[in-house]
Amino acid sequence: MSPTDFKSLVRRFYALQAERVEAYKLFDEGHEAYLRTGPHYDFDHYRQLVHEITKAFCGISKEVLEIKQRLHQDFDRPDLSEHIEKLQIKEKQKLELTAKLQLAKQSAQDHPDDEGCQEKLQEIKHEIIKNKEALSEILQDFKYDSEEPE
């Protein structure tokens, strides 16, 4: 395998991460639109969005895992595949937290006077910030290690 193949694999990994960011943006925008349909929520439309986003995330994850395997086997870079492994775990947590946040937002909208709903919302937002920081750190490590000469 040539250094060009390695670089194109790393570029593809970054492109997939950009697709993830875009998918989250669409997911958030779709959820905001769903919340605007309250109190009689248009759940069917939202369920379709969740289905589409889930499909997108599955496709991205599948390809990221293939890149992880290639980096490890074809390029003998277990350090990079380990970064991807950590990243996948954090991405899974981020998706779970995003779903929790969406439920909490709806709950807070439905019960505006409930302090508990507002607290839960802030708690989840804080967890998401910590998750994003961890993701950013992993991506930094990946970037640093992938730029090192082999």
Among residues 55, 54, 81, 49, the alpha carbon closest in space to that of 68 is found at 81
pLDDT band at 150 (very low <50, low <70, confident <90, very high): low
Per-residue pLDDT reduced to its tens digit, 104-135: 999 999 999 999 999 999 999 999 999 999 99
Q: Are 142 and 84 in contact (CB under 8 A)?
A: yes
Among residues 56, 57, 60, the alpha carbon closest in space to that of 13 is found at 60
Q: Provide the domain count of the chain.
A: 1
Q: What is the mean pLDDT of the chain?
A: 95
pLDDT band at 61 (very low <50, low <70, confident <90, very high): very high
Q: Which residues contact 85 (CB under 8 A, 6 or more apart)?
A: 68
- Residues 42-78 as b or e (16 or more Cβ within 10 Å = b): eeeebeebbeebeebbeebbeebeebbebbbeebebe
- Largest alpha-carbon pair distance within the chain? 61
State the CATH number of the domain containing residue 105. 1.20.1420
**Which domain does 14 fall in, by range?**
3-147
For residues 45-74, give the mean pLDDT: 96
Among residues 95, 122, 116, 87, the alpha carbon closest in space to that of 28 is found at 95
Note the pTM of the prediction, 2 decimals.
Answer: 0.92
